[in-house]
Amino acid sequence: MNENPPPKISKLLWLLLMLAVMTIYILLVARLIDALFAGNIIMELISYILAGIIWVFPAKKIMFIINRTDTDNGDQ
């Protein structure tokens, strides 16, 4: 039988770092949008939608890096 190896500790550290960075991003963006567009609900809504889309691209790249598999040992 072919058993999967346990996850590496580095994956856990990357995920914790990503959660920390995302939390900081959310706090900064919320503060910035509130400071720039206070009182204008339409601009706030548009800004939050854009900020919600923008974070996906760096997160996607990081997730691909975390989940890549290196098969240099010759097993296929």
Express each pLDDT in 23-61 by its tens digit: 999 999 999 999 999 889 999 999 999 999 998 988 888
> pTM of the full predicted structure?
0.70
Reading the block at residue 57, the tokens are 């691209």
- 71 is a domain residue: no
- 2 is a domain residue: no
- 35 is a domain residue: yes
- 4 is a domain residue: no
- 17 is a domain residue: yes
* Selection from 76, 38, 69, 33 nearest residue 52 by Cα: 33
Domain count of the fold of the chain: 1
Collapsed DSSP state (helix, strand, coil) of residue 40 = coil
- 76 is a domain residue: no
- 52 is a domain residue: yes
Domain that holds residue 46: 9-66
- 3 is a domain residue: no
* Selection from 55, 59, 65 nearest residue 11 by Cα: 65
